[in-house]
A and B are shown apart, each in its own frame.
Chain A
Amino acid sequence: MTISRKDIEKVAVLARIRVDEAQISALEKDLGNILDLVDQLGAADTDAVVPMAHPLDAVQRLRADEVTETNQREAFQAIAPATGNGLYLVPRVIE
């Protein structure tokens, strides 16, 4: 399985990772090799097999709808790159 330059550019956009032109050929080779490895899966007959999400087939637990956490905004925002008036700051989105 080969992965094209175009595929890599598309996936990089989806993953929100900037990929420089210079890195693309190395990624083409590395991701292509990984996908070659993964292609072995095609050999397995899985027609009647139920996909497995949890080893013990446990399902999501639900809990009572009760307040269990207290507000710790100051503590959490103390480690943020940029905050103001209790908000997280990012570059302006709407002019």
Chain B
Amino acid sequence: MHNKSVAELSRELESGQISSVELTQQFLGRIKQEDGKYNSFITVTEEQALADARAADEQRAGGNATPWTGIPFAHKDIFCTNGVRTTCGSRMLENFVPPYDATVTANFRQAGAVCLGKTNMDEFAMGSSTESSYFGATTNPWGLGRGDKRVPGGSSGGSAAAVAARLVPAATATDTGGSIRQPAALCGITGLKPTYGRVSRYGMIAFASSLDQGGTMARTAEDNALMLNVMAGFDPRDSTSLDREVPDYTAALNEPLKGLKIGLPKEYFSDQLSPVMEQQVRDAVKEYEKLGATVKEVSLPNAKLAIAAYYVIAPAEASANLSRFDGVRYGYRCDDPKDLTDLYTRTRAEGFGNEVKRRILVGTYALSAGYFDAYYLKAQKVRRLIQQDFINAFKEVDVLMSPTTPSPAFVQGEKTNDPVTMYLEDVFTIAINLAGIPAMSVPAGFVDGLPVGLQIIGDYFSEARLLNAAHQFQQVTDWHQREPQ
């Protein structure tokens, strides 16, 4: 049962083969039994889930079901859930119980889905390994069978590990610089970061507002499409939400790929990429050629500047966004503040972890008097150059393909002492966020028993085409069905 996709489970609920209560009990049982090994959940909401499952079964019996009615899933602990604590992986929000739902949360509730809990993440989504969580690191299910403790990637490592370990069939996630695609790649699942503005950011705890985008994680492309059907859409409560029609993302999944023009950015097949990884990715591209696609090399000449631009823009925006955590209205407050300044500075020193503090300090520096033009403005200009590269590439090809990461999952602790080495994990994903275009990571093989992700990048609002390309690949490969032992 736990190996079935959302689409399959939805059909079984519809035909009455299983009830949502049974399904929910089964997945809750798996979380209880297995999650001690992974620490992929921060909070499990058993009682609420069972109540929601009963309501879903009644709704289905009443003939008012959506494809999601009664389907268990999980939210990354960055999406506010009314009445259920939302920590963002931080001590700052350890006991924060939001008085409202994020739009994404409300959408799944409306669709009748059953949330089993909140998944672990790097603190405030700043990280690529889910090791900076105040609630302890998440461990990748892959490699664990041989005693190998590897990172699941991050920041959405809890969602990725939970889906890979079959604790839930799907989970929400967010991606600011690669936080959906990199963990999806490292955990051998399928993830999609939509076009910036496609999914509402309302109630999604802000990190870098011009880059943050909610998205999907599941084992199959089809399930990602089902998720996006629930999540995408205009939201007047998000000032950068885009008012565009939302297609049925499952409608084009079965379109043939004959004639699809694939571009391979030469900068993403550089010496940063290990030869064995490259082989896996090139083999995946060959599968596409068998499906009728054509392949050519393209260039993204400014892509090499993406990490530098990102590490100005993201910390600068983070320093502004995280100024709201001051110990006054909600969240952590230090003991016995002696005055207001002490309240602010000690609350923030004690409530934030090291990586979050580093980024706030870098961002504050970049925005401080005398540095704004040299850093933030310069980075925003480079951002446009990076975007222009993608616009030019999409004049020649329909999609771009590359590895999602330079190497497979690394061992826990390997990169925690060197922030810059950790930042380079996102070398192939970060430019996509700067440009604001959509991209996926799709399982495409293994290196030393660890999953490899193929990144598929598309033009603005091309989510349906990306999902189609991923789905067709998954009809002729079974990488996405492999289960960690």
Contacts and interface: CB of A to CB of B under 8 A. Distances in A.
Contact of B365 (A31, A39, A56): A31
Contacts of A78: 99
A91 interface: yes
Contact of B381 (A27, A52, A79): A52
A49 B383 CA distance: 10
A22 interface: no
Interface string A50-62: 1111111010110
13 contacts: A10-B368, A16-B323, A16-B348, A34-B423, A38-B379, A49-B382, A49-B384, A51-B377, A54-B210, A55-B387, A78-B99, A79-B96, A90-B328
A7 B361 CA distance: 10
Given A37-B420, A52-B384, A79-B99, A91 B337 contact: yes
Contacts of A67: none
A28 B331 CA distance: 29
Contact of B330 (A37, A40, A80, A92): A80
A50 B365 CA distance: 23
Given A3-B365, A33-B420, A41-B379, A81 B384 contact: no
B309 A18 contact: no
B30 interface: no
Contacts of A53: 210, 380
B329 interface: yes
Contact of A15 (B328, B360, B423): B360
B476 interface: no
Interface of B: 96-97, 99, 195-197, 210, 236, 239-240, 242, 302, 304-305, 307-309, 311-312, 319, 323, 326-333, 337-346, 348-349, 352, 357-358, 360-362, 364-366, 368, 375, 377-385, 387, 418-420, 423, 435-437, 460
A41 B365 contact: no
A12 B242 CA distance: 36
B358 A31 contact: yes
A31 B225 CA distance: 40
Nearest to A44: B382
Contacts of A93: 339-340
Contacts of B304: 40
B294 to A, nearest CB: 28
Nearest to B377: A51
Interface string A74-90: 01101111100000101
Contacts of B307: 37
B358 A17 contact: no
A44 B385 contact: yes
A34 B384 contact: no
Nearest to A81: B333
B348 A81 contact: no
B99 to A, nearest CB: 4
Interface string A14-46: 111111000000010011011111111111101
A27 B240 contact: no
Nearest to A19: B349
Contact of A88 (B329, B332, B346, B381): B329
A16 B334 CA distance: 13
B385 A56 contact: no
Contacts of A55: 195-197, 210, 387, 435-437, 460
A82 B352 CA distance: 20
A6 interface: no
A12 B361 contact: yes
Given A11-B365, A12-B361, A37-B420, 17 more contacts: A11-B361, A14-B364, A16-B345, A33-B420, A34-B362, A35-B365, A38-B375, A41-B382, A52-B380, A53-B380, A55-B387, A56-B460, A79-B330, A80-B330, A81-B330, A90-B328, A91-B339
A72 interface: yes
Nearest to B386: A52
Nearest to A72: B99
A11 B99 contact: no
B419 A34 contact: yes
Contacts of A49: 381-382, 384-385
A41 B328 contact: no
A14 B368 contact: yes
B460 A38 contact: no
Contacts of A19: 349
Question: In this complex, which of B195, B311, B323 has the most chain A Cβ atoms within 10 angstroms of its Cβ?
Answer: B311
Contacts of B460: 55-56
A94 B81 CA distance: 38
Given A41-B308, A44-B382, A52-B383, A15 B96 contact: no
A38 B312 CA distance: 7
